[in-house]
Amino acid sequence: MPDQVTLTWNDDPRTTQTVQWRTDTSVKDGVVRLREAGDQEWVSMPAAMDPVEDRLLMNDRYIHHYTAVLRNLKPGTTYTYRVGSPATDRWSDTAEFTTAPAGEAPFSFLYTGDAHNSESWGALLQAAFRRHPEMAFNIIGGDVVSTGLDRAQWDQVLEYGKDIYARKPLAFCLGNHDDQDGLGVGLILSMFRFPDNGPSGVERGRIFTFAYSNAQFFVVDVGTPIEVVTPWLERELANSTATWKFFVYHFPLYNDGEYDYSSIAEQWCPLFDTYHVDLASTRRPTARYTCTRVVWLQTRALRATSTWPPSG
């Protein structure tokens, strides 16, 4: 049976929806059957299949991974869908998603960080969804897993998000554990389809931006050199007409001193001030590897890398 059904976006959230899932290698075809909620007639949309191999796994070293981009959808509309194989007549459970609104409309989203495929993070995710089923989508601030090339850890993440990610799209930035030791993120980018609107020459899905309602999100990875990111970030911020601007990055530019990210802060924080970024979301400053410890740091008001107003 198809499993790990996951929604992402790689195009306009108002009129498209990307759907991904996996099967074993005996399944050679895949489609999404879609209809507006309340309609009776299904429309079939084909999916592309990519074989995925993980030589570290013995039980399912090879899988087939499917991706379908549903286009020409209506904004602010709820759709019912299921994925599967017409040849084998094996189908997922039916789920629903709702496209982004055509214009301004209130919305909420769930943000977590440093998931590290932990059981406590999975419990937090499920509790958040039970309490706030109205959330529009999910964002994770990097280190989704502890070892990015270990598919078994991604299997854990998708198991924790089962029945949530099939209904609420997922986005995340790549942290240092996801993009580990320069070994690449080919496995990750084969499993999750994100927008291809980052800097020229950078792999699709490493860095991207998307808009939802009157907000725009700028998602940046830790593996791309800052001199490549900064011109792209300034251009995208300068061109943005969104009321709200959210920046998502793994490393905390302001932190308790455990790590020094001042060189990044010196380039990006002035951009945040100039272009009025409302929220820069990162992992927690010191509380790593557990999702039960919360650390708050309070400072004076800051402009770029200095306190504001300047002390006399």
**How many C-beta atoms lie closer than 10 Å to residue 39's C-beta?**
11
Which position has the token pair 């860095």?
207
Please report which confidence band the pLDDT of residue 54 belongs to, taking 50, 70 and 90 as the band edges: confident
Query: With 60 as the cut, is the pLDDT of residue 263 above it?
Result: yes
Compare 72 and 298 and report the one with higher pLDDT: 72
Give the whole-angstrom CA distance, residue 26 versus residue 82.
19
Per DSSP (E only), the strands in 234-292 are 244-248, 279-281
Q: How confident is the model at residue 295 (pLDDT cuts 50, 70, 90)?
A: very low
CB atoms under 10 Å from CB of 29, counted, come to 15
- Distances from the Cα of 152 to the Cαs of 24, 50, 56, 156, 223, in angstroms? 15, 18, 9, 6, 22
Locate CATH 3.60.21.10 in the chain: 110-307
**Average pLDDT for 143-163:** 92
pLDDT at 285 over 60: no
Residue 287: pLDDT band (50, 70, 90) is very low
3-98: CATH superfamily: Purple acid phosphatase-like, N-terminal (2.60.40.380)
For the ranges 4-13, 115-124, 260-269, 270-279, which has the lowest average pLDDT? 260-269
Question: In the chain, what percentage of residues exceed pLDDT 90?
Answer: 72
Please check whether residue 133 is in contact with residue 110, taking contact to mean a CB–CB distance below 8 angstroms.
Answer: no
pLDDT at residue 304, as a whole number: 59
Band (61; pLDDT cuts 50, 70, 90): confident
pLDDT at 262: 82
Q: Mean pLDDT, to the nearest integer, of 220-245?
A: 96
Measured CA to CA, the distance from residue 73 to residue 301 in angstroms comes to 44
Beta strands 244-248 and 279-281 are parallel
User: What integer best gives the mean pLDDT of the chain?
Assistant: 89
pLDDT of 114 higher than 50: yes
Count of beta carbons in the 10 Å neighbourhood of residue 272: 21
User: Count of H helices and E strands in the chain?
Assistant: 5, 18
Residues of the chain with CATH 2.60.40.380: 3-98
DSSP string, 194-215: --S-SSTTSPTTTSEEEEETTE
71-101 per-position pLDDT tens digit: 999 999 999 999 999 999 999 999 999 999 9
Structure confidence by residue, pLDDT tens digits, 161-213:
999 999 999 999 998 899 887 678 888 989 999 999 999 999 999 999 999 99
Q: Quick one: pLDDT at residue 290?
A: 36
Cβ-contact 99, 73 below 8 angstroms: yes
User: What is the second-level CATH architecture of the domain 110-307?
Assistant: 4-Layer Sandwich (3.60)
Distance between CA atoms of 167 and 307, rounded to whole angstroms?
42
Q: Burial of 302 by CB count in 10 Å (0-12 exposed, 13-18 middle, 19+ buried)?
A: middle
Does 134 score more than 50 pLDDT?
A: yes
Which of residues 287 and 59 earns the better pLDDT score? 59
Q: How far apart are CA 71 and CA 12, in angstroms?
A: 9
End-to-end CA, the chain: 68
Nearest CA to 7 out of 78, 95, 118, 122 is that of 95
Q: Quote the pLDDT of residue 289.
A: 35
What is the pLDDT at residue 307? 56
